[in-house]
Structure 1
Amino acid sequence: MTGPRGRVLPVLIPSIGGLLFGYGTGGIAGVLPLVGERYGLSAWTQGAVVSAALLGAALTAPTSGRFADRFGRRPVIAAAAAVFALGTGLSAAATGPEVLVLGRFLVGLALGALSFAVPLYIAEIAPPARRGALVTLNQLMITLGLLLAYAVSYALQSGGSWRQMLAVGLVPAVALLAGMAGVPESPSWLAGAGHRERARTAAAALGLPPAPPGETSAAGPGGGTGLQAALVEAGPGRVALGVGIAVLVHLTGLNTAIYYAPTILASSGLTPSGGVLGAVLVGVCNVLSTLVTIALLDRGGRRPLMLGGLAAMAAAAAGIAATQWSDGRGGATALLLCAFIVAGAVGPAPVFWVFIAEIYPQRARGALMSLATAAHWAADFVVAMTFLPLVRTVSLGGAFAIYAGVTLAAALALARWMPETKGTALADTRTETVRV
């Protein structure tokens, strides 16, 4: 696989995993009101339907790093696509909430591996000068998956066709599974695994320089290292920073706005169909803002986008809270929700995945990225599971007031501790103390 086409396809094909990620997480937004009405689900049970996938992802993430280090990046992505297809089919054929939760759990197992392996693979095959943009292509595909989920939900909502909403996810899953057979393995992983000749061939096909000898690991057949050794390799500052950002991204409430967008808008005075249509408009804003991020990430850097995005999210969340506590709600809430998600799409969401691929040294990268991803999904599970009960307890305005406070606190903390990693060569990452 040589030439421009050979350099583009290895990024485009695995980025379909981002589309699965977006559809797998966002697709439940349109399904939830329909299955909630069909089966009379309580707030906690609806939270379980949403959060089952997140629990599965949190369980997969710690082990996917070891599998990716032992067997390679490509096999993990392909296996995840197959599991996603299985879980999607089971969800679409569910005869009750229990089977639906099981299917969503299987989807989550796949999402946990994809959310880790896809940005890792793209980061390792991308030139340093374009790494931010290319890894953010995965984030763009996530937003496209979310938009597709909202559009399909809107098209099928009037007929109550929630099974078809879920089944659409089979198409990109099969495409990803078939496409991964045609892309090369990461040269960085091949070099670390001791396959020097294959690494040179793969690097040449991708238009990259040969992996430096220093990337070869003595840690084992997969070129990775165990978690305990990885903690020492990277240093406590980098480990704490990666895990901390992983958790903070979700404590802002960003994904609750994605998973529950139709529910939030419907509770703000819009009709159910109006809520789904509002979610489609939010999805469009999300895609457009991610296109802007791709242009900015390698120019402006990781740190300004993260801090600016968090500050804008805090302001938008505070605006949603204020709107909910006043008389005017529906249209204003839709606009502020769009601003909230746009700020997250420009800052925390894409920067997190690029940052954790750049902050860790090669031998520790698989283990520590999977650790950060596990923390990321665990936080997502807790926040998504508790959102509806939180709204019942403190109101929608109260919930977003809490998110505004947490987001502002996160921005202030990262202003102190987050370094800039733009342009860093992955092989050059060292264990020095993290500093701004």
Structure 2
Amino acid sequence: MTDSQVTDAGALEARAMDVSALEARALEARALEARALEARALEDGVMKDGVMAAEAVEAGAGTEGREAPDGARGARGRVLAVLIPSTGGLLFGYGTGGIAGVLPLIGEQYGLSAWTQGVVVSAALLGAALTAPVSGRLTDRFGRRPVIAAAAAAFAAGTAVSAAAGGPAALVLGRFLVGLALGAISFAVPLYIAEIAPPARRGALVTLNQLMITIGLLLAYAVSYALQSDGAWRLMLAAGLAPALVLLVGMAGVPESPSWLESAGHRARARAAAAALGLPPAPERPAAAGPQGGGPQGGGPQGDGRRGGGAGFREALAEAGPRRVALGLGIAVLVHLTGLNTAIYYAPTILAASGLTPSGGVLGAVLVGVCNVAATVVTIALLDRGGRRPLMLGGLAAMAAAAAGIAATQWSGGHAGTTALLLCGFIVAGAVGPAPVFWVFAAEIYPRRARGALMSLATAAHWAADFVVAATFLPLVKALSLGGAFALYGAVTLAAALGLARWMPETKGISLDDTRAEPVRV
């Protein structure tokens, strides 16, 4: 073969390789286009026929490269990935509401003062306030899924200690352990759901966690009423073991958050987890110029894969800005300064003080719980349609009116039926407005790398305010009367509504990666 023939053969081979490369690029482009179309269809709620064009592997399982599930299996996976973590909301509701029916029984059995009863109720809230500040770092370092599972185990342990308590001190210890779990659950579950939800459905899916909280409260009231005549307060508490075990076992079968995997540097696993959840892959992010203090090399996605890409508190504060941080903390505290959770924790006590018998007070609390669940179902439909801001402001205004009505009823001599209806209205307004909106809004307002640290800070403030308000409610009623306490709550709620009318932006439908572009009102 001559030199010219060799040259011609080489040229032909090179052209063939170029053609093959072009064909490969074309095939890859068509695959990416099909994948994007499928992701958009899934986000709109339409499942295309056929097999999802992606690798499917459960994030955090330590293996990669399995075939993706078909449409039906993928849909089931997405449903389970929301429903199982939402069981944490059930724990939250039962763990906080279960004490409402127990309190009158142990108060009579042990002769507890108003302050001691407040300590029993608020011990869980103190534990939650201590856990919340570190929850962001834990979820950023180890992932959302392991933290939720560990919290479920801690809840089960605390519930067992509470149910077996031989006196008030052991009961307070058990409640404190339950609170440590609730602090992590209240942070990690809404964050996980927000990160796996499409923007158009995020509000509804995160509010599903709030619905589970209200169902947990209703179950706690119902169990308390069923066992009230027997005085079986230990069984009331022990019933909380069932949802804790469901959550602990169930978390082994759901994927890790693709957003966290991307931030931790596990890009292949992040793409696989996104495909398994029917989500588009996270966009590639450029490497940072150097290491970030307190975080992995390169910042976020360029980390070494051993720890998450979340920013430390100092970096997070700088990235989010003072006004955004102040807004998140302010809403976290104001939700509890309205007195919403005291109405939930002490519903039987409030109704009994209005003239009902102790068992009648618990039954009234069951009816309040039913109203709470119904209102939350309505909220799921409204949150992504009406937006976060209108529900927050409208809910606060309605709460202020209901609190004023309770105060007026008590000052005019008190009527148990009227008080029960107004208390139901107060809790329903909170279930439509501040309670669900806070968790959605807190996940949306912060930049991605700052989200873990700042959400944990907001959650800590949230629980600290809850602890203070719950611990002081009975002494406040003793000092001001029930009417005076609700008059104070109504005034604070009205002031909160007026302040947020100026400062709170709308975040409905905004991508979690784009939320920081939304300006805060001044």
TM-score normalised by structure 1 residue count: 0.99
Deviation of residue 429 (structure 1)? 2.5
Any idea what SS the aligned residue of 1:435 has? Answer: coil
* Contact 2:368/2:424, CA 8 A, preserved across alignment: yes
For residues 261 and 215 of structure 1, what CA distance do their matches in structure 2 show? 53
8 Å contact kept, 2:98–2:237? yes
Q: Out of 95, 107, 112, which is 2:178 matched to? A: 107
Distance 1:414 1:280 in 2: 32
How far does the alpha carbon of each residue in 1:34-63 deviate from its partner, in whole angstroms, 9 at most, with x for none?
001000000000000000000000000000
Summarize the Cα distance change of 1:85–1:367 in structure 2 as closer, same or farther, 3 Å threshold.
same
Alpha-carbon distance between aligned partners in 1 of 2:135 and 2:385, rounded to the nearest angstrom: 32
| Maintained 8 Å contact 1:191/1:215 | no
Say if 2:391 is the partner of 1:319. Answer: no
Answer whether contact 1:199 1:210 (CA < 8 A) is retained: yes
CA shift for structure 1 position 6: 0.8
Give yes or no for the alignment of 1:205 onto 2:291.
no
How far off is 1:432 after superposition? 6.5
Q: Tell me how far 1:329 sits from its aligned partner.
A: 1.4
Counterparts of 2:465 and 2:285, CA distance in 1: 35
* Counterpart-to-counterpart distance in 2, 1:407 and 1:215: 45
CA distance in 1, matches of 2:322, 2:283: 26
Q: Helix, strand or coil: the match of 1:427? A: coil
| 1:185-224 alignment runs, 5 A limit | 185-214=256-285, 218=299, 221-224=307-310
Aligned equivalent of 1:132, options 176, 192, 203 = 203
| Cα distance in 1 for residues equivalent to 2:78 and 2:471 | 41
- In structure 1, runs of 5+ residues without a counterpart are none
Q: How do 1:248-397 residues align onto structure 2 when only pairs under 5 Å count?
A: 248-397=334-483
- 1:50-82 Cα offsets, whole Å, 9 max, x none, are 000000000000001100000000000000000
CA distance in 2 between counterparts of 1:211 and 1:268 reads: 55
Instruction: Say whether the 8 Å CA contact 1:30–1:154 is kept in structure 2.
Output: yes
Given that residues 62 and 374 in structure 1 are in contact (C-alpha distance below 8 angstroms), is that contact kept between their aligned partners in structure 2? Answer: yes
Aligned-pair CA distance for 1:188: 0.2
The structure carrying a bigger helix percent of its residues is 1
Report Cα offsets for 1:108-133 as digits up to 9, x if no partner: 00000000000000000000000000
Give the equivalent residue in structure 2 for 1:32: 103
Matched, 1:231 2:321: no
Which of 116, 119, 133 lines up with 1:62 in the alignment? 133
Q: CA deviation at 1:326?
A: 1.2
Does 1:401 find its partner at 2:487? yes
CA distance in 1, matches of 2:521, 2:279: 30
Residues 293-339 of structure 1: CA deviation (Å, up to 9, x unaligned): 00000000000000000000000000000000113410000000000
Counterpart Cα distance in 1 of 2:253 and 2:286 = 25
- In structure 2, relative to structure 1, the CA distance for the partners of 1:69 and 1:268 (3 Å cut) is same
Q: Give the distance between the partners of 1:398 and 1:341, measured in 2 at CA.
A: 18
Larger deviation, residues 261-270 vs 321-330: 321-330
- Return the alpha-carbon distance in structure 1 between the equivalents of residues 414 and 481 of structure 2: 16
**2-structure distance, mates of 1:374, 1:59:** 7
Mapped to 2, the partners of 1:41 and 1:97 lie a distance apart of 9
Please tell me whether the aligned partners of residues 398 and 426 of structure 2 are also in contact (alpha carbons under 8 angstroms). Answer: yes
Equivalents in 2 of 1:344, 1:403: separation in Å?
A: 13
The percentage of counterpart residues that share the same residue type is 84
The answer to whether the 8 Å contact 2:255/2:273 transfers is: yes
RMSD: 1.1
Q: Displacement, 1:430? A: 2.4
Deviation at 1:215, TM superposition (A): 9.0
Matched, 1:411 2:497: yes
**d(CA) in 2 for partners of 1:192 and 1:215?**
12
How big is each residue's C-alpha offset from its partner over 1:327-367, in whole Å with a ceiling of 9 and x where there is no partner?
34100000000000000000000000000000001000000
Counterpart of 1:39, as a letter, is Y
CA contact (8 A) 2:162 2:172 kept: yes
Q: Distance in 2 between matches of 1:95 and 1:430?
A: 51
Q: Distance in 2 between matches of 1:365 and 1:82?
A: 25
User: Comparing both chains, which one has the higher relative contact order based on Cα–Cα distances under 8 Å and sequence gaps of 6 or more?
Assistant: 1
Q: Which residue of 2 aligns with 1:52?
A: 123
Identify unmatched segments of 5+ residues in structure 2.
1-57, 59-68, 288-297
